[in-house]
């Protein structure tokens, strides 16, 4: 029953993402939808945290490196009680706490500022080193993207984490194979990805990132590793749950109702159809 409840919450998060992006008329669709299961698992099961006390010292840290997928983080946090759901309507608007990339200090519970890709892993390493120096026991989870692994600074960070054997650092990579210009495997291939991280002294695990039960199990395995950092390669479906968005790189940086995209409903109908798709999933989950 617990897994079913988490699936329902993830679908609710997806609905909030669509509603929020339609209101904003700006933002990214595919990545947030694809990562809804993982963020639901984090905020409703994995993380040691407290929405009423977001700065508690012993909390786990969740660092979002690929900040453009922040609608999924905002929607999950709002559903978890960090701030009112109505505030989601302010996404990407002037003076909003919900900027297009997360900004530390603007919103309680946001651990890092992200915008330029490739910086989050370095930020997480700093936190992991501080955790060790202070003899604390919290975990640092760093969410990254496959596309940002085309940047050298990400690999410099990976090398440092391996050298210092940061065993309370768990990286989760959204390996969805899309970026703004096309498929990652065409723009700049990353394979053999697992072997690369192993050569940098990381423990590598792989999982279906849209299977909540499997993701919870792989995080349990990751926490058992005591002698090195861990990366979880999470294969996700970009645009998950919305039929005309799934696995289509053109939805990487487009919100519903703004762009004419081949195979999609016309502008003005995209948000409505997306919500209809997600409502069908809701009905199916409620019938179980």
Percent of the chain with pLDDT over 90: 99
pLDDT in tens, 33-74: 999 999 999 999 999 999 999 999 999 999 999 999 999 999
277-284: average pLDDT: 98
pTM over 0.85: yes
pLDDT band at residue 142 using 50, 70 and 90 as cut-offs: very high
The confidence score (pLDDT) of residue 212 equals 98
The confidence score (pLDDT) of residue 116 equals 85
Domain that holds residue 63: 2-286
* Beta partners for residue 62, in sequence order: 141
Helix, strand, coil percentages for the chain (3-state, nearest 5): 45, 10, 45
Token pair for residue 278?
């997600």
Average pLDDT, the chain: 97
DSSP state of 288: -
pLDDT band at residue 115 using 50, 70 and 90 as cut-offs: confident
Nearest to 126 by CA among 140, 114, 115: 140
Count of structural domains within the chain: 1
- C-alpha dihedral sign at 241, 12, 105, 125: negative
The confidence score (pLDDT) of residue 1 equals 64
**Cβ-contact 200, 158 below 8 angstroms:** yes
Here the CATH number for the domain that contains residue 134 is 3.40.50.970
């Amino acid at each position: 029953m617990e897994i079913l409840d988490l699936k329902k919450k993830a679908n609710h998060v997806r609905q909030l993402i669509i509603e929020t992006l339609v209101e904003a008329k700006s933002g990214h669709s595919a990545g947030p939808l694809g990562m809804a299961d993982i963020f639901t698992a984090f905020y409703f099961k994995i993380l040691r945290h407290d929405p009423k006390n977001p700065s508690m010292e012993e909390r786990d840290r969740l660092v979002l490196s690929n900040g453009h997928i922040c609608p999924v983080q905002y929607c999950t946090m709002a559903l978890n009680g960090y701030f009112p759901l109505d505030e989601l309507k302010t996404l990407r608007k002037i003076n909003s706490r919900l900027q297009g990339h997360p900004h530390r200090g603007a919103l309680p519970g946001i651990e890092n500022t992200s915008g330029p890709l490739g910086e989050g892993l370095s930020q997480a390493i700093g936190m992991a080193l501080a955790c060790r120096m202070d003899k604390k026991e919290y975990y640092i989870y760093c969410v990254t993207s496959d596309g940002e692994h085309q940047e050298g600074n990400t690999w410099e960070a990976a090398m440092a984490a391996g050298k210092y054997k940061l065993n309370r650092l768990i990286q989760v990579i959204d390996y969805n194979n899309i970026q703004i210009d096309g498929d990652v495997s065409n723009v700049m291939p990353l394979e053999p990805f697992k072997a690369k991280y192993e050569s940098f002294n990381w423990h590598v695990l792989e999982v279906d990132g849209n299977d909540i039960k499997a993701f919870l199990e792989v995080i349990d395995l990751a926490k058992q590793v005591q002698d090195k950092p861990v990366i979880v390669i999470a294969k996700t479906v970009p645009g998950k749950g919305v039929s005309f968005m799934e696995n289509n790189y053109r939805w990487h940086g487009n919100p519903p109702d703004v762009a004419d995209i081949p195979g999609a409903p016309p502008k003005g109908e995209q948000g409505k159809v997306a919500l209809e798709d997600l409502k069908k999933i809701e009905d199916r989950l409620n019938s179980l």
